[in-house]
Structure 1
Amino acid sequence: MAKVENKTSLIDRLAWNIIIPVALLALISLYCIYIAALGDPSHIGSPVKAVVMQALWYLISIVIVVIVMQFDADQLFKVAPIFFGIGIFLLIAVLFFYNRSVAADTGAKSWFKLGPVTFQPSEIMKPAFILMLARVVKDHNDKYGHTIKSDWLLLGKIVAWLAPVAILLKLQNDFGTMLVFIAIVGGVVLVSGISWKIIIPLYGIVIVGAIAVILMVVTPGGQAFLSHFFQAYQFERIKSWLNPSGDTSSGAYQLWQSMKAIGSGQLFGNGFGKASVYVPVRGSDMVFSIIGENFGFVGCVALILIYLYL
């Protein structure tokens, strides 16, 4: 008698404990984008259009997730170099065909514009990079196992795959996205099986280095040295973070206004759609201020708890 293979349906394979918080965050994001566009249409555009475009990206993402779920890890690892190569190609292409208006506003040559749609190729590169690193880690561990020597070799391989991405992001002048890729590497290293005898000293050096940079930023001599590696606006961002009330009319203006907006919500917020404090480009890095202003401390804690659960 032939053996009947028991295949699990797609619905049964879904991790609802992940999908539900992600869906909640998606709905919250659509609300925040709508409110941000109402207060800043010059940067974001029509509120309805902004929400529809974001929802369209979510729908495209769902389709991609469903397609990817049809493949197992070995199949995904086989196509990882192709995806990585496409990502590198796009990061190179954007250096020549970048959106001129976005570059004029932000100084970064990191956005494509195709008709009404703008997007960063680095967003496509992120999952491709993670997939490629996963393949590198698996292939290395299968071949060498774990010794101090082989772990250092694996670390070198990870850094080698990061190098071309970091160089291209540097040419794009997109320091913020480069930090995201460095964070991805940090996460991969943590789960790669590399010995803690390597990880703890390595992360210690990184933390000490970050503290040293912060201390150098606040001294004239340190700034002169760091000017060879960082630009003036990056100094201003670190200064604003260290002292948000120091220059509220210039470098720290956006940060200070966002803090005022969050504080204005007090415990329970001012209610749906209330945005009385002006925050420039609120729909980007300062979108959290909408939660604070509309739903107060309680709403902020609820949002953070959803992230922590996820």
Structure 2
Amino acid sequence: MTKSKNTIESRIDYSILLPVLILLLVGLVSIFIATNFDYPKNLVQVMSQQVLWIFLGSVLAFVVMLFNTEFLWKITPWLYVFGLGLMVLPLVFYSPAVVESTGAKNWVSIGSVTLFQPSEFMKISYILFLSRIGVWAKQGREVTDLKDDWLLLFQYTAVTLPVLGLLVLQGDMGTALVFLAILAGIVVVSGISWRIILPVVLAFVAGVALFVMVFITDWGKEALIKMGVQTYQINRISAWLDPFTYADGIAFQQTQGMISIGTGGIYGKGFNHLELNVPVRESDMIFTVIAEDFGLVGSGLVLLTYLFLIYRMLRVTFRSNNRFYTFISTGFIMMIVFHIF
């Protein structure tokens, strides 16, 4: 029997690479349109930055392909600690202007130069560390008792709390939800008993429902502010629950985005043709550019491309014989699905 060579070619799954390349191209085109319309003087700078990040990401992806399981397993705890260290930096090195506009200290800035968002690196190291814990806890056992499951859940929680604590200090609750989505996916694939998961899920749903019931009252909002919830966070939730009531103020971006998507119609207005003012559409609201220019057909194809990417990632995950990689893949799938959602 011939022995297959472990070449770079054999490590590339083109059915995953193709949708990624398509989405990168769509992203570049959309950012070009948005920047050309809103900040034409910054077009070359913005596009250069995007191409540079794509290049660096591609190089990093190639380097990671060369890692073997043993090396990745050994460096994972160090990557987690390094990620926590990076998460502290925005609390010290931040731009007051960025904090004023976003309400969060989640970007590392020196002077007027905004460098990077440490939580993006932390997502990777967090997924790796949860995966390592999940594999180590099982240790080849397919069946565990509730005591083992509770212990594993405690370990997951212990790893998660420092990350969430730093995100709370940064004021970045949106990113905290991404980490919770990753945790949920890892917990399910860990095989923790539903006798533990179901009560936790029900308690979480009940907690969210109770929060919404309290939030929609005036006294509830005042109580939340006294408890330390920031005003901009209260405003974001209000805008999400009833956007058009706040269309002239805190929900202006959201409602303009919804109108922009609607005005695209079935086929869109055509390439590089925007009419509505949607604040920060080059990043937060980039989907509005796709929908307004290319309509329901174009935006639907983008969502289908994402769906195909997730489908192929799931296929690879289910076929994997390496439990460590199965956990890692699950974490990244949950991260991407949450961002798409």
TM over 0.5, shorter chain: yes
Superimposed CA distance per residue, residues 169-200 of structure 1 (whole angstroms, 9 cap, x where no aligned partner):
11111111111111111121121111122222
Match of 1:127 in 2: 124
Q: Say whether the 8 Å CA contact 1:244–1:256 is kept in structure 2.
A: yes
Deviations 1:114-138 (A, max 9, x none): 6856210111111011101111111
> Is structure 2 residue 92 aligned with structure 1 residue 96?
yes
Secondary structure, in 3 states, of the residue corresponding to 1:71? coil
Contact 2:244 2:251 in 1 (8 A): yes
2:287 alignment partner in structure 1: 288
Structure 1 residue aligned with 2:83, among 81, 87, 91?
87
Q: How does 1:8-27 map to 2 (within 5 A)?
A: 8-27=6-25
Deviation, 1:53, is 0.9
The answer (yes or no) to whether the contact 1:245–1:256 under 8 Å persists in 2 is yes
Q: How do residues 205-216 of structure 1 correspond to structure 2 at under 5 angstroms?
A: 205-216=203-214
- 3-state secondary structure, aligned to 1:246: helix
Give the TM-score normalised by the residue count of structure 1: 0.92
Where do residues 125-204 of structure 1 align in structure 2 (5 Å cutoff)? 125-142=122-139, 146-204=144-202
Residue 150 of structure 1 and its aligned partner are, at CA, apart by 0.8
Structure 2: 5+ residue runs without aligned partners? 310-341
Contact 1:34 1:48 survives alignment (8 Å)? no
1:97-116 equivalences under 5 Å are: 97-113=93-109
Could you tell which deviates more after superposition, 164-173 or 144-153? 144-153
Q: CA deviation at 1:5?
A: 5.5
Secondary structure of 2:274 counterpart: coil
Task: Flag structure 1 segments of 5+ consecutive residues without an equivalent.
Answer: none
Contact 2:103–2:232 (CA<8 Å) still a contact in 1? no
Q: Give deviations 1:44-95, integer Å, cap 9, x for gaps.
A: x712321221221121111111111112223211101111111111111221
> Take 1:172 and 1:90, find their aligned partners in 2: how far apart are those partners?
12
Comparing 98-107 and 132-141, the one that deviates more: 98-107
Q: Is the 8 A contact 1:214 1:238 kept in 2?
A: no
Once structures 1 and 2 are overlaid, which stretch shifts more, 268-277 or 97-106? 97-106
User: SS state of the match for residue 115, structure 2?
Assistant: strand
Closer, same or farther: CA 229–309 of 1 in aligned 2, 3 Å: farther
> Alpha-carbon deviation of 1:269?
0.2
Q: Percent identity?
A: 38
Write the letter of the residue equivalent to 1:281: V
Question: Partner of 1:95: helix, strand, or coil?
Answer: helix
In structure 2, C-alpha distance between the alignment counterparts of 1:121 and 1:148, rounded to whole Å: 36
- Which piece of structure 1 moves more, 186-195 or 264-273? 186-195
What is the distance in 2 between the residues matched to 1:190 and 1:13? Answer: 27
In structure 1, C-alpha distance between the alignment counterparts of 2:301 and 2:245, rounded to whole Å: 30
Q: Distance in 1 between matches of 2:46 and 2:145?
A: 51
**Count of matched residue pairs:** 306
The aligned counterpart of 1:262 is 261
Separation in 2, partners of 1:192, 1:80: 18
Question: In 2, distance between residues paired with 1:192 and 1:230?
Answer: 33
What's the TM-score, normalizing by structure 2? Answer: 0.84
1:257/1:279 contact within 8 Å kept: yes
> In the aligned structure 1, how far is the partner of 2:207 from the partner of 2:19?
35
Contact in 1 for aligned 2:239/2:251 (Cα 8 Å):
yes
SS in 2 for 1:64: helix
- Mapped contact 1:103–1:109 kept (Cα < 8 A): yes
User: Does structure 2 retain, via aligned residues, the 8 Å contact 1:33–1:47?
Assistant: no
Matched, 1:235 2:234: yes
The SS at the match of 1:245 is helix
